Amino acid sequence: MGLYHTVCYKIEDLFVKVLSKKENQHITKEKVIKYRMGKEEFRQQRKLEKGKKKAERNGIQA
């Protein structure tokens, strides 16, 4: 994971901690992890689609 994502996650964790003081920390942390995993899956899927499109364009041009 890049430095940018690491910094963003640290800041995000801080905001979640501050905003959810009165809520159950374990449940909140699970929600954050689930959200991040879904976001990462979407990012990976988008990369695959871009790779396929790029391969198709290169195949057509060759």
* Domain-located, residue 54: yes
Total domains in the chain come to: 1
Q: 37 lies in a domain?
A: yes
- Whether residue 16 is contained in a domain is answered as no
Residue 62 has pLDDT above 60, yes or no: no
Give the single-character DSSP code of 41. H
Query: Looking at residue 3, what is its pLDDT?
Result: 92
How far apart are alpha carbons 3 and 32 in whole angstroms?
19
Decide if 51 is inside a domain. yes
* 4 inside domain: no
Domain assignment of residue 39, given as a range: 27-62
Q: What pLDDT was estimated at residue 1?
A: 61
In a domain, 6, yes or no: no
Nearest Cα residue to 53 out of 61, 42, 2: 61
Task: Give the tens place of pLDDT for each residue, 3-61.
Answer: 998 999 999 999 998 988 888 888 998 999 999 999 999 999 999 999 888 888 888 76
